[in-house]
Amino acid sequence: MKRALQLLVAMMIAAGAAGCASVSYYAQSLEGHARIMAARKNVGKLIRDPSTPEPLRAKLSAADSIRRFATDELALPDNSSYRSYVDIGRDAVTFAVFAAPQFSLVPRTWCFPVFGCVPYRGYFSRKAATDSAVELHRQGLDVYVTGITAYSTLGWSSDPLLSTMLRQDDTYLASLVFHELAHQRLYVDGDSAFNEAFAVTVETTGVRKWLRAAGNRAGLLSYETDRRRKADFLGLIAKTRDELSQIYGSPRAPQQMAAAKAAAIDRLRVRYRQLRDRRWAGYRGYDAWFDAPINNAKLAATAVYGEQVPAFLRLFDLCSGDYPRFYASVRRIADLHGASRAEALKAATSCN
């Protein structure tokens, strides 16, 4: 924890030249993270403690097994992360604010010491996130605020399991642990699309391996069904992004462009309902996403997590599912710069 606090303090000092608003932002990050770190309890002790409620004990036992699997089978960092637990008493640990221009799908980015530039700002307070979103909206930007279940300090501190991570089944818990540890395994400053797609690939392949190792055929079938739905969902988003890109690149007047944008989003909702009722046999797990407002910021946030995943999965197969070889290959690509990184990933024909 001392190292994490030193890092955050350094970030606050670095922000000083940028003005009071930046210092205030880093202060809330420091305070929120420090509060969580101070509340950590050792997972092993909680499992052995007879006063621990049985449902929590079962979840923590599963988490302990998942954590060992991450190191032993996925070659993820063997450190103190996810070996402690904190009940944060709310539905989200942080709230991410995304923003994009009214007629552009390119998200606004914010740059931070050590972590580089990312297309969002994170807040430990829902009110602070909402206030930030209101201010960005006043600037004429599309905004999107979403709750976050887990976050990573990239190994700078011993990230704990959070109560938000235990709300769903063990497959969901495994996916979060594998994803966040993947960020500790490899992280490229300023390339969120690369980082998130890499972590999603480790998460996806890791969950599949974990379910197979447990002989959980029903769980694997359910997981693969969820992955197909997610691919369908991202396909819908990609189609609408393509439509909007053409609209925004056209010589239309702002009022005409706004009308065309609204029509494209209406078509997205229609296509979703058709997909849900026909191909998905009425599955409504994405209804909330489509029922809420949709804008450029929301579409951009969704794209960050999905666009490069197919290329990473293909590279994983080229590496014969060998995690150390896969990580080494990804590291070589990560050492490239700018657009050449994505191009090399897409063009890869071997694991080298």
CB 197 within 8 A of CB 306: yes
Residue 335 structure tokens: 């050492």
Say how far apart CA 187 and CA 179 lie, in whole Å.
12
Q: What percent of the chain has pLDDT over 90?
A: 79
Q: What is the pTM of this model?
A: 0.89
Q: Which residues pair with 86 in a beta bridge?
A: 162
Alpha carbon separation from 195 to 116, 169, 183, 239, 299 (Å, rounded): 12, 25, 7, 23, 18
209-255 pLDDT per residue, tens: 999 999 999 999 999 999 999 999 999 999 999 999 999 999 999 99
Whether the per-residue pLDDT at 15 is higher than 60: the answer is: no
Which parts of 171-227 are beta strand (E)?
A: none
Query: Apex CA 162: angle with CA 168 and CA 287, to 5°?
Result: 40
Q: Which helix (H) or strand (E) holds 144?
A: strand 141-148
Band (8; pLDDT cuts 50, 70, 90): very low
What are the boundaries of each domain within the chain?
1-38
290-332 pLDDT per residue, tens: 999 999 999 999 887 777 899 999 999 999 999 999 999 999 9
DSSP for residue 137 = H
Residues, the chain, total? 352
User: In one letter, which amino acid is 168?
Assistant: Q
30-64 pLDDT per residue, tens: 888 889 999 999 999 999 999 999 999 999 999 99
Say how far apart CA 9 and CA 4 lie, in whole Å.
9
